Amino acid sequence: MEPSFGAHNSRMRRADHLTAGAPDGDGARRAMQRALDMAGLAPDRIGYLNAHATSTSVGDAGELTAIKAIFGSVGGPAISSTRSATGHLLGAAGGLQAIITALALRDGILPPTLNLENPDPAAEGLDLIGGRSREKAVEFALSNGFGFGGVNASVVLGRWEPSLEI
């Protein structure tokens, strides 16, 4: 039997407006904060964030505002979006993104955002992973999935340790 490669620490989902997410990122911020609260973790415990980041102007701006509200404007977790490699898989997007995040925790290799050449100036100071993957062991990661209609989901995953009883 294969060993587990991740531990599920918390998840949160919520919905904003019927047809559009909050452009100020408030729903995304609340989903991330609630997931952290449910996991019993302070933001500085998150070493990697797999962002929703679908390259939509309103969605990306809102998520960026939410990330800065939770983690601050400088430093914070390493951030990338694996949707740059997978495309948007609609109903399967969040699940695959969580699997990729769990594998990043297991392997200590954080995936890049492909084709990240000119980041939004509003992201200056954040630790964006572009170009190549980064070797870095992290204990906890956050994965975001946000949808049209303001449906927001965030999950905190932890690196699995053989001594943990799940």
Q: Could you read off the pLDDT of 91-114 as tens digits, one per residue?
A: 778 889 999 999 999 999 999 999
- Tokens 């993104």 map to which residue? 97
Instruction: Return the pLDDT at 20.
Output: 56
Instruction: Return the pLDDT at 29.
Output: 95
Q: How far apart are CA 107 and CA 36, in angstroms?
A: 23
Q: Which two tokens stand for residue 147?
A: 């949808």
Average of per-residue pLDDT values in the chain: 85
Q: Which residue has the higher pLDDT, 22 or 125?
A: 125
The residues spanned by each domain of the chain are: 7-158
Q: How big, in percent rounded to 5, are the helix, strand and coil portions of the chain? A: 35, 25, 40
| Segment 25-59, tens digit of pLDDT | 899 999 999 999 999 999 999 999 999 887 776 77
Q: What residues contact 49, with CB distance under 8 A and at least 6 apart? A: 67, 71, 76, 77, 78, 79, 80, 141, 142, 143, 144
Q: How far apart are CA 75 and CA 90, in angstroms?
A: 31
Average pLDDT over residues 1-30: 60
pLDDT at 11 over 80: no
Pick the most confident of 5-14, 53-62, 78-87, 133-142: 133-142
Q: 7-158: which CATH number, 1.20.140.10, 3.40.710.10, 1.10.8.620, 3.40.47.10?
A: 3.40.47.10
